[in-house]
Structure 1
Amino acid sequence: MDPFNLPAAMDGGTAKVGDGVPYADGPRHKLDIYAPEQRGAAAPVVFFIYGGGWNRGERSDYQFVGRALASRGFVTVIADYRLVPDVAYPAFLEDSARALRWVQDNIASYGGDPNRLFLAGHSAGAYNAVMLALDPSFLKEYGVTMPILGVGALSGPYDFYPFEYDEVRNAFGSAPNPEGTQPINLVTSAAPPMYLASGTTDPIVRVQNTEHFAQALRDQGVWVTTQYYEGFGHMEPVIAMGALWRWRMPVLDDMVAFFQRFGAFPSGVPYVAVAPEPPEMMPDAVAPMNQIIADLDAMFQRIEE
């Protein structure tokens, strides 16, 4: 993900205000915090969970997401969590719940308002985010009482049982109740509002996953905003949150507008970054963008049929 984290490819007017902050013991229990450089009153908080098939990923790969959301007025937290094969379900969810307890106890010291919390994630991270919102047992275990005002989920798998691919078998195959690992089976009317987005040609998680999950939420009376980005695949929605590819699709604007609808900035409008024009020329390191996307997609197995 290095091309998207070059200084010229990230949003200005932001600061990394926490770097490798431990939220528990262990090398995978650290988090980073991003915030607007100009901070006054306490800001809303986004807890962003990256993907990687539950077996890869680093918080440092997603600096561009942290700075993108910070440029729109959010204090953004990105935490590492333990990965397969060292752990399996539900350890990665427990880690995120533990990190949220740290947020609850400490984010005010970094300019964030714990009463204006939003979850967001991409791919496996989108799964993690919606599971934390749907299954209260994880947050209860760690004493997290902050309200979740909304969830922004990109390219997420929500209905992938039976487990047909090694990536999900390794992560979920030992779960005593496999149906209980599926977000689509846990939907109740108590779920928070959700923004669900997917590329229409996603080769890793088919767009129907989002469609079916959205319908299950609507059937329970839960507010759902869906966005389907025509012709885009699995990685593009999260990459387009960053300044380098923001001209490709309005995913950041769409997510921020959703968070605004549900109370992110009740007393005013946040600073809004200007979406860049398509670049006329890019450095050699970032020019072959389509090839970079193809290489990233090739790292993943399909999650569901």
Structure 2
Amino acid sequence: MEWKTIKKIMVLILAWVFFPIVSVAISQTDAPQSQLKVPLNPKRVYKVTSYLLTCLYENLTGSFIPSILQYGWHKLSSERKRTSVRKNIRYGPRPRNRLDIYVPDRVSTRNNNRNNDNMGQPALSSNSTPNPNQQQNDTAVIIFIGTSWNSGNRATCMPVAQSLQSQGYIVIVPDLTLYPNGKIAEMVADVQQCIYWTHTHISSFRGDPSQIYLMGHDAGSLLSALTVIHDACATLNVLPSNNTNVNIPVWDNVRRTGLPRVQGLILFSGVYDITYHYAYLYQKGLEQVHALPRVMGNRPDAFLQCSPTYLLSHALERVQNHDQLKALLPRKVVLFHGEQQDTFNPSITAFKFLLESAGIPSVQHKIKNVKYISPKFDLIVPTKPLCVELLKDIKECCKGGKKNRN
């Protein structure tokens, strides 16, 4: 018997043990009544298990373990410095609406874990009396990289936050509402609240309210792009008609003043067309167990309402003066993805084209000889060549923003 045949048989045997556990463990509150909790289709079971085992193999043989080891060595061999961080600040009304804020060494805050429930301005520590001659011009980066649709915790972002902090950025790390406690509307509302909180309070940390960037990865990339594009469309009253079960909230729905403008988007391995990505999940047999379809309404017309490419394309058709749209969108967008990452490339390319059609400078950065970019692993060791390259591009993006500031 050939090795390939033996391999398939082993995967199939594992599938009937492993896949039912995954199916039951993953919340499927929106599944149709006709859909079994544990799918019995052998083809689907085989496809999903093969995919999961491939992901496990790539994590074990890819950059995950080397990055963790390199990070540990870097922390042990480098000079130990006390991290300036203010933790557990409430930024919104939902239970998970808490954030940590990391500030550069030249600006220190009270380093404690006590709750801050009033969503007010956090005070600076006594050893960091504000200097009236010091300009409040530090760049703030809100990172949405430690979460998927149904899991994630801001504590896992600490290494990335410290890496960016060491480069002089003020780093805001929020927790968002997760599925099944919330869906896309609640998640976008959390991002809106976080942007507003940062714009309102970042000056307390010597930050510049006009220099706010969003950094996203995977689900965080979609949420970042969707939030700012939906807000621009709502402000101009060019949102597409919506008869679906998805109702993304409009910030300040009465006055339609819109969110504070975000300076730029720094997005890693993102999905910007939900319809296209659903087709990919269907091909892999994942559409019944993956959280994304249910978060997005589980309907083709709802997928469109959640797709930044669709919203931006619709706005470009409806708005005669594209300068009006450009004035509300981020001033620059950088799209990172691996050169070998074929899964999302068409979606990324289409998104870049639409941004440029709106007059937004956009950079699609393909990292050579890399399949998948994850800032949680690729941005934590400042001496690693890939990390050096990414930090350089991030700095260039932020520097460009300051040059273009009104």
Work out whether the TM-score is over 0.5: yes
Q: Identity of aligned pairs, percent?
A: 19
| 2:99 is the alignment partner of 1:22 | no
What is the deviation of 1:236? 3.7
1:214 aligns with one of 352, 374, 397: 352
Equivalent residue letter for 1:200? E
Distance 1:160 1:245 in 2: 36
SS at match of 1:130: helix
Match for residue 269 of structure 1?
Answer: none
SS at match of 1:67: helix
Match for residue 3 of structure 1?
Answer: 68
Equivalent residue letter for 2:262? I
Distance 2:358 2:365 in 1: 20
Match for residue 265 of structure 2?
Answer: 151
Match for residue 55 of structure 2?
Answer: none
Distance 2:403 2:223 in 1: 21
Report the TM-score, using the length of structure 2 for normalisation: 0.59
What is the deviation of 1:263? 1.0
Q: Which has the higher strand share?
A: 1
Identify if the C-alpha distance between structure 1 residues 182 and 55 changes in structure 2 by more than 3 Å, giving closer, same or farther. same
Distance 2:79 2:154 in 1: 17
- Give the CA RMSD over aligned residues: 3.0
2:306 aligns with one of 181, 188, 194: 181
Contact 1:48–1:120, Cα closer than 8 Å, also in 2: yes
What is the deviation of 1:66? 1.3
Identify if the C-alpha distance between structure 1 residues 215 and 265 changes in structure 2 by more than 3 Å, giving closer, same or farther. closer
Equivalent residue letter for 1:229? I
CA-to-aligned-CA distance 1:47-82 (integer Å, 9 cap, x gap): 111254311111111112212222222111010001
1:41 aligns with one of 135, 139, 154: 135
Q: Which runs of 5+ in 2 are unaligned?
A: 1-63, 108-133, 235-248, 317-324
| 2:390 is the alignment partner of 1:251 | yes
> Which consecutive segments of 4 or more residues in structure 1 shift more than 4 A?
4-7, 9-14, 142-145
What is the deviation of 1:120? 1.2
Q: Which has the higher contact order (CA 8 A, sep 6+)?
A: 1
Match for residue 287 of structure 1?
Answer: none
Match for residue 9 of structure 2?
Answer: none
Distance 1:58 1:23 in 2: 16
What is the deviation of 1:19? 0.7
CA-to-aligned-CA distance 1:109-160 (integer Å, 9 cap, x gap): 1222212111111111011111122111457238764221111111100012
What is the deviation of 1:26? 4.2
Identify if the C-alpha distance between structure 1 residues 219 and 77 changes in structure 2 by more than 3 Å, giving closer, same or farther. same
1:199 aligns with one of 333, 338, 349: 338
SS at match of 1:90: helix
Contact 2:337–2:373, Cα closer than 8 Å, also in 1: no
| 2:332 is the alignment partner of 1:226 | no
Question: Any residues of structure 2 matched to 1:30-69 within 5 Å, and which?
Answer: 30-39=98-107, 40-42=134-136, 43-50=138-145, 52-69=147-164
Distance 1:14 1:71 in 2: 12
Identify if the C-alpha distance between structure 1 residues 186 and 51 changes in structure 2 by more than 3 Å, giving closer, same or farther. farther
Q: Which runs of 5+ in 1 are unaligned?
A: 267-305
Bigger radius of gyration among the two: 2
SS at match of 2:157: helix
Contact 2:146–2:156, Cα closer than 8 Å, also in 1: no
Distance 2:207 2:96 in 1: 23
